[in-house]
Homo-oligomer: A and B are copies of this chain.
Amino acid sequence: MTKPSCEDTTLVRARDLHHGYFSFTFAPYPRVAECHPGSFVHVQLTSTDIYLRRAMSVASVNTRRHELEIIFKVFGRGTAALSRFTTGSKVNILGPLGVGFSKPRSTYHPVLVAGGVGFPPLMFLAQQMIDDGMDPKNIHFFYGGRSERDLVERARIKKMGIRFYPATDDGSLGDKGLVTKSVEKFIKDHHAKERLRLYGCGPEPMLKAVDELGMQYGVAGQISLESPMPCGIGICLGCVVKLRVGGHARVCCEGPVFEIGEVVL
């Protein structure tokens, strides 16, 4: 477990990704080197009228420039308040938190399944796998959303040179229908030939489907969960999920990344 700490940092870059999505870069954040794909940070909002922090997955880091990026979608009061911060604002960040994804050996073909605002940690994961020497062509990035406008940062993802499979409910981009339908087809076609690893992050129904696909086809992998997170460091017990074996686990400490088949969804 990394020791969490509260760090005052500055919002140095705020990009409006449109359709309610924002990319915020904070610097200097002294602990970038300890952020892994699946790690999250807990962002303080008390300078607005919001009491609890909000959990945000690390979307990327620049270790040289000590920059930390998060990407979020305006959903409720918390993210709306966050989106109103302007460049130069001081923001307190508690982190790095959580147990992230474990990277597969380079002989595997990772299948990343992102739903909506679940893509940032998977984008980070893909980037790190490439940095670690994996052939981008072996990385399969599925990205689902309601319609084209929900699939932000596509250019950036494609630029990594990985295989990109968009899917939208309304068919406005890529396959029409749930992204997990496309994933199932892919697994069917490939799991006999290649050693796949599934990685999922997105809304709960999507994760449930990924979890079931993994178990059905015997493909190991991991999913990243969400839960209301008052503390983010394991002291409030507010964020628990039920494990198939062994009672409860805290999403903030034992997770947010769990093995496929581990959690009762």
Show the binding face of A for B, using Cβ within 8 Å: 46-50, 84, 86
Contacts and interface: CB of A to CB of B under 8 A. Distances in A.
Nearest to A51: B49
Contacts of A86: 86
- Closest 3 pairs (CB-CB, A-B): A49-B49, A46-B49, A48-B49
Tallying the copies of this chain within the complex gives 2
Given A47-B48, A48-B48, A49-B50, 6 more contacts: A46-B49, A47-B49, A47-B84, A48-B49, A49-B49, A86-B86
Nearest to A81: B47
A45 to B, nearest CB: 9
Nearest to A45: B49
A49 B47 CA distance: 7
Contacts of A48: 47-49
Nearest to A49: B49
A48 B51 CA distance: 11
A256 to B, nearest CB: 28
A185 B49 CA distance: 50
A209 to B, nearest CB: 40
Contacts of A47: 48-49, 84
Nearest to A47: B48
Nearest to A90: B84
Contacts of A46: 49
Contacts of A50: 49
Nearest to A50: B49
A46 B49 CA distance: 7
9 contacts: A46-B49, A47-B48, A47-B49, A47-B84, A48-B48, A48-B49, A49-B49, A49-B50, A86-B86
